[in-house]
């Protein structure tokens, strides 16, 4: 982390989990376990339908709402889609785009991810843009080449003032939901590489100000070491964000160097 130049963000990704009836007890437990002074920005990316209930149940918990996906379209005949203005309207401040599960199961490509990123920025929602390599790409030494391509494609046509509101999440696909975490060195190396790619496009100052998160089996036990890396400015957390005490422990792990 480097608090001098950029925000630290801990974002949970509930994926397609939880029921409305479980939100209140979850938020109560989260509040009990959270540090009294918040050391970072905390976000919960819930299923969109749960955002109002999460905000209501957590109103004194200082947790911002995030969504997990958005339509690239502004409005109209797109059955099943949710627009950026609809997300903003129910209180979403952040939205994940390009998660590997959406790339893999819904065929999302880099052009679509770029369009979704722009749709979010237009409505004042901070995109959390996910990038990451497969195990095969890592083994073939293609990690940085692949990630540089994904970062450049996602940010295509986005100017420096809009970049300030973007967050990048490095999520190696082989580490998501597998219990296999990238080592702190591996994660730092790629996050530093992502910052170098951004520096190449926008220059040193904008690159220094972008928050880059690590995601992939981050948990209460390994968060501190990962967050101690200079280019890792927080985490995108799946499984452990469903356990309020563990999620709060990850938030506490950002107290180091505060």
Binding of ligand PEP by 127 (CB under 6 A): no
- Concerning whether 171 is annotated as a catalytic residue, the answer is yes
- The yes-or-no answer on residue 32 being catalytic is no
Q: Which positions ≥6 away from 153 have C-beta within 8 Å?
A: 110, 111, 113, 114
Dist. CA 175–CA 217, nearest whole Å: 6
Place of tokens 């095969």: 136
In the bound state with ligand PEP, the residue whose beta carbon lies nearer, of 202 and 214, is: 214
Q: Which helix (H) or strand (E) holds 64?
A: strand 64-67
Return the H-helix or E-strand segment holding 25.
helix 20-33
Is residue 97 part of the contact set for ligand PEP (CB under 6 A)?
no
Backbone angles phi, psi at 72, to 5 degrees: -80, -15
Angle CA 191–192–198, to nearest 5: 90
Place of tokens 């998501």: 176
Under rule CB under 6 A, residue 216 binds ligand PEP: yes
Contact 220, 249 (CB under 8 A): yes
Stretch that binds ligand PEP, among 19-27, 81-89, 187-195, 209-217 (CB under 6 A): 209-217
Pick the catalytic residue from 73, 171, 225, 255: 171
- Comparing every residue's Cβ against ligand PEP, the nearest one is 238
Shortest CB 131 distance to ligand PEP, Å = 12
Q: How far apart are CA 219 and CA 205, in angstroms?
A: 31
Of these, 53, 151, 223, 237, which contacts ligand PEP (CB under 6 A)? Answer: 237
Note whether 128 binds ligand PEP by CB under 6 A.
Answer: no
* Residue 91 binding ligand PEP, by CB under 6 A: no
One of 32, 73, 99, 108 is an active-site residue; which one?
A: 99
Is 66 a binding residue for ligand PEP by CB under 6 A? The answer is no
Tell me which of 13, 46, 117, 222 binds ligand PEP, using CB under 6 A: 13
Region from 66-74, 151-159, 233-241, 247-255 binding ligand PEP, contact rule CB under 6 A: 233-241
Token pair for 39: 């050391």
Q: DSSP characters for 161-193?
A: HHHTT-EEEE--GGGTTTS-PPPHHHHHHHHHH
Residue 110 token pair:
């880099």
Q: Which residues, numbered 176-195, are part of the site for ligand PEP (CB under 6 A)?
A: 176-177
Could you tell me where the DSSP H helices lie in 46-142?
51-57, 84-89, 100-105, 110-122, 135-139
Q: Is 217 in the site for ligand PEP (CB under 6 A)?
A: yes
45 binds ligand PEP (CB under 6 A): no
Q: Name the segment binding ligand PEP (CB under 6 A); options: 64-72, 183-191, 193-201, 214-222.
A: 214-222
Task: Note the residues at the interface with ligand PEP (CB under 6 A).
Answer: 13, 171, 176-177, 215-218, 236-240
Tell me the catalytic residues. 99, 171
């Amino acid at each position: 982390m480097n608090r001098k130049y950029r925000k630290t963000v801990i974002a949970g990704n509930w994926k397609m989990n939880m029921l409305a009836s479980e939100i209140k007890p979850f938020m109560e437990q989260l509040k009990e376990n959270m540090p009294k002074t918040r050391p970072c920005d905390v976000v919960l990316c819930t299923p969109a339908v749960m955002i109002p209930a999460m905000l209501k149940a957590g109103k004194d918990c200082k947790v911002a709402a995030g969504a997990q996906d958005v339509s690239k379209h502004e409005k109209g005949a797109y059955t099943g889609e949710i627009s950026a203005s609809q997300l903003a309207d129910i209180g979403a401040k952040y939205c994940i785009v390009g998660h590997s599960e959406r790339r893999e199961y819904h065929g999302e490509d880099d052009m679509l991810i770029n369009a979704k990123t722009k749709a979010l920025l237009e409505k004042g929602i901070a995109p959390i843009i996910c990038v990451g390599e497969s195990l095969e790409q890592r083994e073939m030494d293609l990690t940085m080449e692949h990630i540089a391509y994904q970062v450049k494609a996602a940010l295509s046509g986005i100017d420096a003032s809009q970049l300030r509101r973007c967050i990048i999440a490095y999520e190696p696909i082989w580490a998501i939901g597998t219990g296999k975490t990238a080592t702190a060195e591996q994660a730092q190396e790629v996050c530093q590489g992502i910052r170098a790619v951004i520096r190449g496009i926008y220059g040193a100052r904008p690159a220094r100000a972008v928050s880059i998160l690590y995601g992939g089996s981050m948990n209460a036990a390994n968060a501190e070491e990962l967050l101690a890396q200079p280019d890792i400015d927080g985490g995108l957390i799946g499984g452990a964000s469903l356990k309020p005490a563990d999620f709060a422990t990850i938030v506490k792990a950002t107290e180091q160097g505060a």
